[in-house]
């Protein structure tokens, strides 16, 4: 798994590539925790290049969403979600807990 | 050959680093069985969740056990058998997560087994005479 992060004025963008499983999910969790610990809570997560995500990855997403939405201080927005991963989000009942947008740049611009 | 049965078997060390190797073993098995890409992803997900649970719970992260996986390509289905020698596991003790719960009430654990049950057509846990755990996962060919 590879994570490319960029910090914008309005939000942080994380582009994730490869597999997010029990082995790599902690690395994604650390990258997201770092942003939160620095006091930023508006995060766009671009999943276009993710080819596999297990429940360990979903666990990281839900914990980060809980932390970001606390006190209405922000949120995690998911973008360019591949169909297989969207189906997993749907099965887990996560599609009502995240805004899911197709266009990453638009998501960054609209924050 | 149509109608024939073929089985591939491999052992993996029970650690999280093995998950990618396990996926590399399962993926061609699904493709050779002519499953469509959605079904392949379902099988890969279920196997990943099962092996993650074995590493985390059966072996409690001790990294000294093995996971033996066999993949049987039958005429009407693909059957994956996953064997470990860790702690016994009773799936009846695990309830499905509430997928309608609000964000605040949402549990972050419990999705793995739920995915296995939802993504596969048959799921069976058993305990062998030598105390190994056997998980049998079946996906029907459409």
Q: Which residues of B touch A19 (CB under 8 A)?
A: 19-20, 23
Beta strands in chain A (DSSP E): 2-7, 12-20, 42-53, 75-79, 99-101
Chain B residue with the nearest C-alpha to that of A56: B112
Mutate to test the interface with B, among A56, A68, A97, A99 (most CBs of B within 10 A): A56
> Domain span at residue A103?
2-109
Backbone angles phi, psi at A101, to 5 degrees: -120, 155
**Whole-number percent of chain B with pLDDT over 90:** 81
* Number of domains making up chain A: 1
Chain A residue with the nearest C-alpha to that of B109: A59
Question: What pLDDT digit, counting tens, does each position of B18-68 carry?
Answer: 999 999 999 999 999 999 999 999 999 999 999 999 999 999 877 789 999
Whole-number pLDDT of residue B3: 62
Distance CA B14, CA A70 (A): 37
Whole-number pLDDT of residue A102: 97
Distance CA A68, CA A90 (A): 21
Question: What pLDDT digit, counting tens, does each position of B57-114 carry?
Answer: 999 877 789 999 999 999 999 999 999 999 988 888 888 999 999 999 988 888 999 9
Domain definitions of chain B by residue range: 6-140
Task: Answer for the pair B86, B14: CB distance below 8 angstroms, yes or no.
Answer: yes
Distance CA B83, CA B48 (A): 14
Q: What is the ipTM of this complex?
A: 0.94
CB-nearest to A56 from B52, B97, B101 is B52
CATH 3.90.226.10 fits B6-140, yes or no: no
Question: What pLDDT digit, counting tens, does each position of A19-75 carry?
Answer: 999 999 999 999 999 999 999 999 999 999 999 999 999 999 999 999 999 999 999
Beta strands A42-53 and A75-79 are parallel
Distance from CA of A78 to the nearest CA of B (A): 16
Query: What confidence tier does B1 reach under pLDDT thresholds 50, 70, 90?
Result: low
Mutate to test the interface with A, among B15, B37, B52 (most CBs of A within 10 A): B52
Chain A residue with the nearest C-alpha to that of B14: A23
Whole-number pLDDT of residue B2: 55
Which of B116, B19, B13 lies closest to B67 in space, CA to CA? B13
Q: What is the CATH number of the domain that holds A45?
A: 3.30.750.24
Size of interface A-B (CB pairs under 8 A): 72
Q: Any bridge partners for residue A43, and if so which?
A: A12, A76
Distance from CA of B81 to the nearest CA of A (A): 20
Tokens (6 digits) for B40: 């392949």
Chain A residue with the nearest C-alpha to that of B100: A93
Mean pLDDT of A68-95: 97
Question: What pLDDT digit, counting tens, does each position of A12-21 carry?
Answer: 999 999 999 9
């Amino acid at each position: 798994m590879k994570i490319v992060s960029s910090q914008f004025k309005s939000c942080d963008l994380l582009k994730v590539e490869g597999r997010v499983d029990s082995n790599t999910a902690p690395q994604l969790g650390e990258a997201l925790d770092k942003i939160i610990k620095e006091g930023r809570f508006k995060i766009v997560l671009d999943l276009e290049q993710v080819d596999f995500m297990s429940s360990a990855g979903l666990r990281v997403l839900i914990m980060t969403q809980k932390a970001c939405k606390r006190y209405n201080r922000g949120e995690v927005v998911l973008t360019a979600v591949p169909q297989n991963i969207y189906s997993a989000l749907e099965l887990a009942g996560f599609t009502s807990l995240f805004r899911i947008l197709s266009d990453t740049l638009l998501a960054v611009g609209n924050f | 050959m149509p109608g024939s049965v073929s089985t591939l078997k491999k052992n993996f060390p029970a650690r999280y680093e093995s998950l990618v190797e396990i996926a590399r073993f399962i993926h061609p098995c699904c493709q050779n069985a002519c499953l469509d890409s959605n079904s392949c992803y379902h099988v890969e997900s279920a196997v990943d969740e099962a092996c993650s649970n074995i590493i985390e719970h059966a072996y409690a992260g001790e990294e000294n056990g093995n996971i033996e996986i066999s993949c049987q390509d039958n005429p009407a289905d693909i059957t994956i058998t996953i064997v470990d020698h860790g702690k016994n596991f009773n799936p009846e003790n695990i309830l499905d997560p509430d997928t309608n719960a609000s964000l605040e009430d949402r549990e972050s654990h419990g999705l793995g087994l739920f995915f296995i049950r939802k993504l596969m057509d048959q799921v069976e846990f058993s305990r062998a005479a030598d105390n190994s755990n056997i998980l049998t996962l079946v996906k029907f060919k459409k």
